[in-house]
């Protein structure tokens, strides 16, 4: 077993040979082959490796949070596993620990799930994913993490956050009139549609009764790369790094926004309704929860974020890159507006209520 006290430069530690030499012996996998799949050297530094051996294929991951947060994640995975949700469990080291710590970095090992990520062009994959999310939420309403875990909560007031973002949009519009550069011109050319969406979002958010939003353990990043289908169509959910106790509809809304903003499925009302019907049939949604989804999908997220970041960093940012990103963000504005108006009508008809 290697000495944990031995000093290694953190970047050297990420080299495949050093992973094999320093970390895999803790799992008795030192004779395995190691392939780095992902490395992100950001504030939340992370790395993923594929480990292949005679004992099987595994996923080794460097996480970006501390041991108490990892205990929460471990608790979540075990709870879901015991409620028949397919999740890759954290495998123990030879000493029974659920992680390896070297140079104040934590590494975990799970089985490698061999399959294809959820295909957003396959309606069956989408429906199965929505249904599975409903089962996850039902099974974790009374989730209690292991003692000693960090307390992870979302539960953000969507009206408060929408109000804040709306005001930032107005600030950006003032900055655009001042700078009048290429980015600003594109921003202002598309302002009417985006401020319409933002106003509608703010208006509906003010009427949401937050007490009517159900709470459960939420994945936090329930998107296609984390939803894996094996060849027999068995669905697995991976990567619980962002899981927390939160409003169930935050998970659903995040899933839908990622799905609907794509070119092939751009703001397709039928896909959205079919997904929600599948979820609703397992875990019924209230009017306030539908309002939340409407607010989340209506607010021009990318337009707001790009403009905020641009004007906050205008003296040192890559202006051409921001312009390209803004062009892409506004290219589907009309589709989003049409979708939101139709979705609002759908909710009003479904609940016989005026929004």
pLDDT digits (tens, 9 = 90+) for 248-291: 999 999 999 999 999 999 999 999 999 999 999 999 999 999 99
Q: Which residues of the chain have pLDDT under 70?
A: 1-10
Q: Residue 9: what pLDDT?
A: 60
Q: Note the CATH architecture for domain 123-351.
A: Alpha-Beta Complex (3.90)
In the chain, CATH 3.30.200.20 sits at 10-112
Tell me the Cα Rg of the chain. 23
Q: Residue 4: what pLDDT?
A: 47
Q: Note the CATH architecture for domain 10-112.
A: 2-Layer Sandwich (3.30)
Q: Residue 41: what pLDDT?
A: 86
Structure tokens at 232: 């027999």
Q: Residue 253: what pLDDT?
A: 98
Determine the Cα–Cα distance for residues 239 and 110; give it in Å rounded to an integer.
10
Q: Residue 234: what pLDDT?
A: 97
Q: Residue 8: what pLDDT?
A: 53
Structure tokens at 122: 């396959």
DSSP 143: -
SS3 content of the chain, % helix, strand, coil (to 5): 50, 15, 35
Q: Residue 79: what pLDDT?
A: 98
Tell me the pLDDT tens digit for each residue of 225-249.
Answer: 999 999 999 999 999 999 999 999 9
Determine the Cα–Cα distance for residues 355 and 351; give it in Å rounded to an integer.
10
Of 162, 207, 155, residue with least CA distance to 344: 207
In the chain, CATH 3.90.1200.10 sits at 123-351
Please check whether residue 218 is in contact with residue 245, taking contact to mean a CB–CB distance below 8 angstroms: yes
Determine the Cα–Cα distance for residues 133 and 73; give it in Å rounded to an integer.
17
What CA–CA distances, in Å, run from 255 to 146, 170, 182, 302? 28, 28, 33, 16
């Amino acid at each position: 077993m290697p000495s944990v006290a031995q000093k290694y430069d953190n970047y050297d530690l990420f080299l495949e040979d050093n992973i094999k030499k320093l970390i895999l012996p803790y799992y008795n996998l030192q004779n395995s082959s190691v392939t780095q799949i992902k490395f992100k050297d950001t504030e939340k530094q992370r790395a993923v490796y594929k480990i292949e051996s005679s004992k099987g294929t595994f996923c080794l991951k460097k996480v970006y949070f501390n041991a108490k947060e990892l205990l929460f994640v471990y608790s979540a995975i075990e709870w879901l596993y015991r409620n028949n949700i397919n999740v890759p469990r954290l495998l123990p080291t030879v000493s029974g620990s659920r992680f390896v710590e070297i140079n104040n970095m934590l590494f975990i090992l799970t089985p490698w799930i061999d399959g294809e990520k959820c295909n957003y062009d396959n309606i069956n994959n989408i429906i199965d994913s929505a249904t599975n999310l409903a089962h996850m939420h039902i099974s974790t309403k009374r989730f209690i993490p292991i003692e000693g875990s960090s307390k992870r909560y979302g539960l953000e007031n969507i009206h408060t956050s929408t109000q804040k973002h709306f005001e930032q949009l107005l600030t950006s519009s003032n900055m655009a009139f001042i700078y009048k550069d290429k980015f600003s011109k594109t921003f202002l050319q598309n302002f009417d549609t985006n401020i319409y969406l933002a106003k509608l979002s703010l208006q509906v958010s003010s009427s949401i009764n937050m007490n009517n939003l159900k709470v459960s353990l939420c994945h936090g990043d329930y998107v296609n790369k984390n939803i894996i289908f094996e060849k027999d169509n068995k669905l697995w959910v991976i990567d619980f790094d962002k899981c927390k106790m939160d409003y169930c509809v935050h998970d659903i809304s995040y899933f839908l926004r990622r799905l609907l903003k794509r070119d092939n499925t751009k703001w397709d009302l039928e896909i959205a309704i079919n997904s929600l019907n599948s979820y609703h049939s397992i875990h019924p949604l209230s009017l306030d929860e539908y309002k939340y989804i409407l607010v989340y999908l209506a607010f021009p997220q990318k337009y707001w974020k790009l403009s905020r970041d641009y004007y906050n960093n205008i003296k040192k940012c890559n202006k051409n890159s921001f312009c390209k990103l803004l062009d892409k963000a506004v290219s589907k504005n009309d589709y989003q507006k049409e979708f939101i108006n139709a979705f609002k009508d759908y909710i009003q008809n479904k609940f016989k209520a005026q929004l």
